[in-house]
Amino acid sequence: MANKRSIGEWVRQNIVTVIFIILCAACFILSGETPAYVAMELVNRLARNAFIVLSLIIPIVAGMGINFAITIGAMAAQIAALWVIEWGVGGFGGFLLAMLLTMPIAALFGFLIGKLLNKMKGQEMIGGLILGYFANGLYQLLFLFIFGNLIPLNTPGLVIKGSTGVANTIDLTYGSGGGIKYALDGLWKLSFGPALYICCGVIAALLVVLMLTKRLNAKKGGISIGILAAACLLYQIPAVASLFSMVTVPMVTFLVVGLLCLFNVGIMKTRIGQQFRAVGQNRTVANASGIHVDHVRVIAIMISTVLAGWGQLIFVQNMGTFQTYGAHEQVGLYAGAAILVGGAKVGEVGASYSKPGPVITGLGKAIEALRAKGLTVEVPAKGWEEHFTAVAGLVADKDTAELVEWAEWDPKRVKGAAVRIPDSQAVLDAFGTRIADGGGALKLLEAGA
């Protein structure tokens, strides 16, 4: 009975994803396309779009919702691509040059977007949409009047014949080495079978390393390795292998997408990542804890806009051409739809990063030292949720926004105790560091106690 309830709860929480899968299955049956063709298109579109979808994660974590202003990052990428073609730089070097040019342009745009979105807190998504429409007018002014008129373009096919302005379609094959078409996808391509074996082998090796270094539970690691082995064995069945007979996997592109996944995970473990979470869950509490909320929000949008620009470059090099005046327009809507179908809950995104009380172990002596100096007021371990709220690595009083740390003590003594910090400056004066800075600072407190 409990299993039925858990399944029902999972379906309820992921209803958008479930309905999307059902619709896809129904449309596949009605389309009459072969499974092999659908698998090929699925892999191609994953390679083409995954990076730009993942660029939305950081602003969501920071509580800004879906960054529809990534459209402006795509514009920055297309400006960079235009100049790479004009200069005749092709191949992987041309693609890297386009990425390099995109970064400062998109970062500047992201800074301006972030500043403006700070003026419309709570309405960031609609603000991002409107910004995209407004920026599109400036983009068209740039491409129709400035480029090819005030700033001459000499590469054949870039300018509208008999007029001024950039042509409606830009062919990325211009330049040395065939331009930047497939500059990333073409570096290393494999059929699905070898790609599957290599990916499973690399992931299995990483899991073994994590288990040996005690960073991963042996049971979970063993189950994961078993699933990878089962996938490889399943591919040995001729009927399964035939489903992927048309698939060619661009290995470097998926490697880049994987690196972005690691970046998103890694940055959340840094100080700025903790600030993203804190701001996303409660701006008032984050501000009370000393976080410059507006500054953190601007950084989140800047990172997202730069990543979106790079994602647009991956998209257009996969296509080989792009519509000058339309390739960027629906980027934000499609990426936003993809991340929502994937299971993201914009209004609850912070909940996936917080547990009922951040737990920091081995702090008995530090807490005792703080108590001895009269710097704490203890709160009962049970029922503390009624009066306090968890915000990333911190806990705060719901009424006063006063900082609190949650410490897991020796189980033989007390299961847990929340310790109020009424004066962080007093802690700083007494110990030379702040207890609110997290686990590292608390360990320093313990060492100095």
Asked if residue 100 has pLDDT above 90, the reply is yes
Contact 94, 312 (CB under 8 A): no
Q: Which tens digit of pLDDT belongs to each residue from 180-217? A: 989 999 999 999 999 999 999 999 999 999 898 888 88
- Kindly report, residue by residue over 259-276, the tens digit of the pLDDT: 999 999 999 889 899 889
- Give the pLDDT band of residue 107 (cuts 50, 70, 90): very high
- The arithmetic mean of pLDDT across residues 71-88, rounded, is 92
Q: What is the mean pLDDT of residues 413-417?
A: 40
Residue 372 has pLDDT above 80, yes or no: no
Q: Pairing between strand 321-323 and 169-171? A: antiparallel
Q: Identify the pLDDT of residue 446.
A: 36
Residue 58 scores a pLDDT above 90: yes
CA distances from 318 to 187, 253, 337, 351 (A): 12, 10, 21, 36
According to the model, what pLDDT value does residue 427 have? 46
Which pLDDT band, with edges at 50, 70 and 90, does 52 fall under? very high
| Residue 345: pLDDT over 70 | no
* pLDDT of 341 strictly over 90: no
Q: What is the mean pLDDT of residues 322-331?
A: 86
Percent of the chain clearing pLDDT 70 (strictly above): 74
In this prediction, residue 164 carries a pLDDT of 77
**Per-residue DSSP letters for 165-211?**
SB-SEEETT-SGGGTTTTTTGGGSEEEHHHHHHHHHHHHHHHHHHHH
**Does the pLDDT value for residue 21 go beyond 90?**
no
pTM comes to 0.76
pLDDT for the residue numbered 413:
39
Mean pLDDT confidence for 281-298: 86
* pLDDT-based confidence at residue 398 (cuts at 50, 70, 90): low
State yes or no: pLDDT of 406 exceeds 90. no
- Identify whether the C-beta of residue 166 lies closer than 8 Å to the C-beta of residue 147: yes
Buried b (16+ CB within 10 A) or exposed e, 49-82: bbbbbbbbbbbbbbbbbbbbbbbbbbbbbbbbbb
> What is the DSSP code (8-state) at residue 376?
-
In tens, the pLDDT along 164-181 reads 788 888 888 877 667 898
pLDDT by residue (tens digit) across 129-160?
899 889 999 999 999 889 888 888 888 888 88
Least confident range of 38-42, 173-177, 381-385: 381-385
Cα distances (angstroms) measured from residue 321 to each of 22, 173, 239, 339, 407: 33, 8, 36, 25, 56
* Secondary structure string (H, E, C) spanning 301-363: HHHHHHHHHHHHHHHHHHHCEEECCCCCCCHHHHHHHHHHHCCCCHHHHHHHHCCCCCCEECC
pLDDT at 5 over 90: no
Residue 296 has pLDDT above 90, yes or no: yes
Q: Is 406 left (phi over 0), alpha (psi -120 to 50) or beta?
A: beta
pLDDT at 353 over 70: no
Q: How confident is the model at residue 350 (pLDDT cuts 50, 70, 90)?
A: very low
Query: Do the Cβ atoms of 427 and 434 come closer than 8 Å?
Result: yes
Does 356 have pLDDT greater than 80?
no
SS3 of residue 163 by DSSP? coil
Q: Say what the pLDDT of residue 281 is.
A: 82
Mean pLDDT (the chain) is 78
Task: Determine the Cα–Cα distance for residues 93 and 96; give it in Å rounded to an integer.
Answer: 5
Q: Residue 27 pLDDT more than 50?
A: yes
For residue 439, the model assigns a pLDDT of 39
pLDDT at 335: 86
CA 383 to CA 342: how far, in whole Å?
A: 35
Checking if the pLDDT of 401 tops 60, the result is no
Instruction: Check whether 355 has a pLDDT greater than 80.
Output: no
